[in-house]
Amino acid sequence: MTQPKIMVVDDEPIIRMDLREMLENEGYQVVAEAKNGEEAVELAHRHKPDLIIMDVKMPGLNGIKASGIIRSFSDCSILLLTAYSQKELVIDARKAGVTAYLVKPVSEDDLIPAVEIALSQKEKVVSLKKDISDLKQKIEDRKCVEKAKGKLMSALSLEEEAAYKWMQQVSMQRRMPLVKLAEEILAGEETLFSQG
């Protein structure tokens, strides 16, 4: 696995420096720093970080609003830093897609486990999205095969099982995936009907 890319966002340079130092001491790579929400959005587009550690209260676009924008185009985890632990903040952060938050001042003992959990969550999200994509493709492939089978049943006056066996045989003879054959059948390649 490649080393995770982390971005740090805070309007206070000393806090950014402290966070960078804590992360680098643990072997993490900080790929970018931003001083406000607008810059965070721009740098998130450019660097595609795996994790963003971002202050809530910043001039201009605050951390929660910036998180919402970033999560609209990125699967990265977002760890918010706040001086307060308020219920409304937690609700807004959850709606914006934030992974977790830490109350300032942040120690290395608090930061590193939170970073590890946030990165783990990001990996799970990416894996689940891939699984969903794969399943959607399998469903689409299955629909295509079913439609082609229906077309064969009609064109060749076959029962469902016979149409499916015909497709399997032609697929094996031509050494092509069943779904590719189904696509050809649906495209109306009449020469296929003479095979089998």
Q: Which two tokens stand for residue 73?
A: 């185009």
pLDDT over threshold 80, residue 192: no
Q: Which two tokens stand for residue 54?
A: 């971002």
Judged by DSSP in three states, 34 sits in: strand
Lowest mean pLDDT among 23-27, 145-149, 156-160: 156-160
Helices vs strands, H then E, count in the chain: 7, 5
| CATH 1.10.10.10 boundaries in the chain | 133-194
Please check the confidence at residue 89 and state whether its pLDDT lies above 60. Answer: yes
Average pLDDT of the chain is 92
Top pLDDT among 41 and 92 is at: 41
Nearest-5° Cα angle at 81, 116 to 2? 30
Residue entry with tokens 């031509």: 174
Cα–Cα distance, 88 to 101 (Å, whole number)? 13
According to CATH, the topology of domain 5-106 is Rossmann fold (3.40.50)
Question: Tokens for 161?
Answer: 């099982």
CATH 3.40.50.2300 domain residues, the chain: 5-106
Q: Which residue do the tokens 């914006």 mark?
A: 96
The whole-number pLDDT of residue 126 equals 85
Q: How confident is the model at residue 191 (pLDDT cuts 50, 70, 90)?
A: low
Give the type of residue at 51.
L
Q: With respect to CATH, is domain 133-194 assigned 1.20.272.10? A: no
